[in-house]
Amino acid sequence: MGQRVGTRRNDMDENIPATKDILLETAGELFANAGLEGVSIRKIAQKAGANIAAIHYHFGSKDNLYLEVVRHVMHRVRCTLAGQYLADRAAWQDKPSSRAKVICALVEERMVQFFPDPHPGWYGRLFMRMLLNPTPALGKLAEEIILPDFEQLTEVFRLCKPGMSLAEARCWTDTLLGQLGHYVFSAQFVQYMPNQNRQDADFQNMISRHLSRLLLKGLDLPLPDFLKDDTLHAK
């Protein structure tokens, strides 16, 4: 059971500047660094500049706060292009060149969402900790957010290569997410590798181009003009 907090109305300090979003961001960073069991409601309140009753008012318990933190992060990094392309599939699915552009756009969207900027670096740490030490929140949010996105992306891959089986399409989804996940979940290690500055625009562009080429090659789709230059480099 989650840690309950005080409910007395006079515990609320009307001058507390902390908002619900501040509490979510503060708790999220703490959960990312120490895990659900390693963080107390009191510590979250102190760091957020709030009192305990404010957390109870917004979330009710530590377990509910954790669930809302993960949901908050997932919505912040959620990708929507796959669903949009599926809704407008008639505009692109019949032309190989158009299908290729769709794949490149999906890669670019996920590059923006998966890399630390514009999101805090603790997002990746929270996901890694959640995967290593799953809580009931993971299953609930997987069904609510992760699985629909996965299936939409899988369907786009299936449409990009006529005749592709669902199982193969899911493998391509795993390939895309796995490649990007390496740079998210291995951030502390990758930074020590040569030419692996995740914050550098040239490096991010190199990864985006490389991954787009990899996918297009496997899907037998033509390279758009901007990918035909074989020079890949990062400063």
Per residue in 59-114, pLDDT (tens digit) is: 999 989 998 998 888 888 788 899 999 999 999 999 999 999 999 999 999 887 77
Mean pLDDT of the chain: 82
Please write the tens of the pLDDT for every residue from 155-176.
999 999 999 999 999 999 999 9
User: Out of 95-99, 115-119, 145-149, which region has the weakest mean confidence (pLDDT)?
Assistant: 115-119
C-alpha of 208 from chain center: 16
Say if residues 190 and 204 touch (Cβ distance below 8 Å). Answer: no
* Average pLDDT of span 208-215: 93
Confidence class for position 178, pLDDT limits 50, 70, 90? confident
Q: Percent of the chain at pLDDT above 90?
A: 44
Q: Does domain 9-73 have CATH number 1.10.10.60?
A: yes
Predicted TM-score (pTM) of this structure = 0.76
Domain ranges of the chain: 9-73, 80-227
Q: CA angle 191-26-140, nearest 5°?
A: 90
Alpha helices by DSSP H, listed for the chain, are: 20-34, 41-48, 52-59, 62-76, 81-87, 96-114, 122-132, 136-141, 147-160, 166-185, 187-190, 201-218
Is the pLDDT score of 220 beyond 60? yes
- The domain covering 80-227 belongs, at the CATH homologous superfamily level, to Tetracycline Repressor, domain 2 (1.10.357.10)
Residue range 17-30: mean pLDDT, rounded: 84
CA dist 50 and 14 (Å) reads: 10
Question: For residue 125, is pLDDT > 60?
Answer: yes
pLDDT band for position 7 (cuts 50, 70, 90) = very low
Backbone phi, psi, residue 4, to 5°: -80, 155
